[in-house]
Amino acid sequence: MMEMMLISVSTGVYSIDLIQPDSLVVQSGQSLSITCQVSGYSLTDDSYATGWIRQREGKTMDWIFHQWGGGSGNFYQNNALKNKFSYSRDMSAGTVMIKGQNLQPEDTAVYYCVRHPTVTKTTNTPAQILSNMHLNHKHKF
């Protein structure tokens, strides 16, 4: 029996635009790439981190990873998910991308592209990152 899952995507703060289809069904074991087009700020601005989180039904929100702007571009990721998801960004195009590999039914979730608006980057734990991220409208993916 072939298992399938529905992946949803949502934009983070009001200044991030996410351009992709409204919904997508992925079969177990397949991969998926989601691109987030950033507007209203620059990925080169070291005052902000841009990344991805997910909300699985009935579960707490999972922080996946984020990367700060600017020259250093410090990258932080959830070690429990590092073999499942990878992150890339194109600073000139203003896009960030998440790629999931070998997706399983437990990966069914709403995926959020988010911006973290703070300058205290070295002291933030994943829980603090989540509490400071602003989520608004959803786009199903």
The DSSP bridge partners found for residue 76 are 66
Taking the C-alpha atoms of residue 46 and residue 73, their distance in angstroms, rounded to an integer, is 8
User: 62 falls in which pLDDT band (50, 70, 90)?
Assistant: very high
What is the model's pLDDT at position 126? 46
Domain 4-135: assigned CATH number: 2.60.40.10
Q: What is the pLDDT of residue 22?
A: 58
Which residues lie closer than 8 Å to 128 by C-beta, 6 or more apart? none
Residue type (1 letter), 8: S
Residue 12 has pLDDT above 60, yes or no: no
pLDDT of 8 above 60? no
Is the pLDDT reported for residue 121 higher than 50? no
Task: Catalogue the E-assigned strands of 28-129.
Answer: 32-38, 48-55, 62-68, 75-77, 85-90, 95-100, 110-117
Among all chains, which residue has been given the structure tokens 């988010």?
114
- Asked whether the predicted pLDDT for residue 124 surpasses 90, the reply is no
